[in-house]
Amino acid sequence: MTIPRLTVITLGVKDLAQATRFYQAIFGISPNSGYEGVSFFELPGVWLTLYPVDKLAEDISPQLSPDRRGFSGITLAYNARSKDEIMAIFEEVKTAGASIIKPPQETFWGGFSGYFADLDGYHWEVAWGPMFDFAPDGSLRFKE
Looking at the structure, tell me whether residues 129 and 101 fall in a common domain. Answer: yes
Mean pLDDT on 39-63: 89
Note the pTM of the prediction, 2 decimals.
0.84
- From the number of C-beta atoms within 10 Å of its C-beta (0-12, 13-18, 19+), residue 40 rates as middle
Looking at the structure, tell me whether residues 78 and 144 fall in a common domain. Answer: yes
- Does residue 123 lie in a domain region? yes
pLDDT score of 74:
85
pLDDT above 70 covers a percentage of the chain that reads 97
At 104-130, the pLDDT tens digits run 999 999 999 999 999 999 999 999 999
Looking at the structure, tell me whether residues 101 and 82 fall in a common domain. Answer: yes
Looking at the structure, tell me whether residues 80 and 134 fall in a common domain. Answer: yes
CA distance 127 to 108: 12
Looking at the structure, tell me whether residues 75 and 136 fall in a common domain. Answer: yes
Looking at the structure, tell me whether residues 47 and 102 fall in a common domain. Answer: no
pLDDT higher at 137 or 72: 137
Q: How many domains does the chain have?
A: 2
Which residue from 85, 90, 108, 89 is spatially nearest to 100, judged by alpha carbons? 90
Looking at the structure, tell me whether residues 45 and 75 fall in a common domain. Answer: no
The domain in which residue 55 lies consists of: 1-60
Task: Report the mean per-residue pLDDT for the chain.
Answer: 91
- Does residue 65 lie in a domain region? no
Looking at the structure, tell me whether residues 79 and 12 fall in a common domain. Answer: no
Looking at the structure, tell me whether residues 144 and 75 fall in a common domain. Answer: yes
- Does residue 106 lie in a domain region? yes
CB 104 within 8 A of CB 90: yes
CA distance 114 to 127: 7
